[in-house]
């Protein structure tokens, strides 16, 4: 089975939230409630408090180092607009996009404003201006979408999207193509697993659930399995159970003999298979 791992970059620096939103305040309140309930210990809570006063909030360098060590060609999705707590600017994102690509990883758009075809097109064009002569995909922030959204993303010119996600139950739906009214073709890669939907309190419970899901994917003959892990959680001090889960997932996939690939590599596999099927069909006529 082929494993596709991606990282949504929701935050870069703590200062981007000052006087803009309540992300840091909510982070402290949520952590305070968690320590009172016994979900996290006092040491983790204090590290989370300290993190609010640090400059860099993202964990892109750390997770790139880990992914590179395990030969994971992961994709990082960066915001080209602001919404729902994603508050950094394109200028702040630019050097990180460059670092990701220079390190051999992939970059894409973490779509923010999906209220109109024009806003979707603008974010696509803004990223294209930053990364000319580069094909890229997208995932909408907070996986907000409907059928019109996906059509608009295809129309805008994205190579692929990975926003479709079942929030109620696990789904192993495989990739399919969306053909826009302007003729653009976009691959939709349904998202199978997101960190925040399995990591609530007990990492052991999360491991049991995901182990079962991976077995189900293997037994059903799934060609691809997609996993989203937010880079900000790759932190042994502030999110020790989350980073432990990510490391377990990678190790479990390696032990099972699965292959880590990128969306771009997956698309090549899909389109090669399409062309082979077309040749066979032509020969049978």
The answer for residues whose C-beta is within 8 angstroms of residue 31's C-beta and 6 or more apart is 40, 44, 45, 48, 49
Confidence (pLDDT) at 19: 86
CB distance 139 to 229 below 8 Å: no
Average pLDDT, the chain: 96
CB distance 111 to 138 below 8 Å: yes
pLDDT tens-digit readout, 208-257: 999 999 999 999 999 999 999 999 999 999 999 999 999 999 999 999 99
Q: How far apart are CA 27 and CA 103, in angstroms?
A: 30
Bridge partners of 226, per DSSP, are: 4
pLDDT tens-digit readout, 53-92: 999 999 999 999 999 999 999 999 999 999 999 999 999 9
Query: What superfamily in CATH does domain 2-22+58-284 come from?
Result: Glycoside hydrolase/deacetylase (3.20.20.370)
Owner of token pair 């180092």 = 65
Confidence (pLDDT) at 278: 83
SS3 67: helix
The stretch 132-145 carries a mean pLDDT of 96
Does the structure show a pLDDT above 80 at 200?
A: no
Q: Which of 190, 188, 199 is nearest to 170 (CA)?
A: 190
Q: Which of 236, 203, 188 is nearest to 4 (CA)?
A: 188
CB distance 16 to 87 below 8 Å: yes
Q: Which of 58, 59, 55 is nearest to 15 (CA)?
A: 55
Q: How far apart are CA 232 and CA 195, in angstroms?
A: 11
Percent share of the chain, pLDDT over 70: 100
Q: Counting runs of H as helices and runs of E as strands, what totals does the chain give?
A: 9, 10
């Amino acid at each position: 089975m082929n494993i596709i791992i991606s990282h949504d970059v929701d935050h870069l620096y703590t200062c981007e939230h000052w006087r803009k939103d309540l992300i840091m305040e909510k982070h402290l309140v949520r952590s305070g409630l968690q320590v009172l309930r016994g979900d996290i210990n006092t040491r983790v809570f204090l590290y989370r408090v300290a993190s609010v006063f640090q400059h860099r909030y993202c964990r892109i360098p750390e997770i790139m180092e880990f992914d590179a060590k395990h030969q994971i060609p992961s994709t990082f999705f960066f915001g080209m607009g602001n919404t729902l707590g994603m508050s950094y600017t394109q200028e702040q994102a630019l050097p990180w996009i460059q670092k990701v690509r220079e390190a051999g990883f992939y970059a894409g758009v973490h779509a923010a404003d999906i209220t109109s075809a024009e806003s979707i097109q603008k974010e696509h064009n803004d990223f294209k201006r930053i990364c000319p002569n580069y094909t890229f995909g997208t995932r909408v922030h907070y996986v907000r979408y409907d059928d019109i959204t996906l059509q608009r993303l295809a129309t805008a010119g994205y190579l692929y999207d990975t926003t479709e996600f079942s929030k109620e139950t696990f789904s192993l739906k495989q990739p399919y193509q969306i053909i826009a009214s302007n003729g653009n073709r976009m691959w939709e890669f349904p998202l199978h697993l997101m960190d925040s939907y399995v990591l609530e309190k007990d990492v052991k419970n999360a491991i049991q659930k995901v182990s079962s899901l991976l077995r189900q994917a293997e037994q059903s003959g799934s060609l691809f399995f997609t996993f989203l892990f937010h880079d900000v959680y790759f932190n042994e001090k502030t999110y020790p159970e989350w980073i432990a889960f990510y490391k377990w997932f990678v190790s479990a996939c390696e032990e099972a003999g699965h292959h880590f690939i990128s969306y771009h590599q997956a698309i090549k596999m899909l389109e090669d298979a399409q062309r082979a099927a077309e040749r066979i069909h032509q020969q049978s006529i």
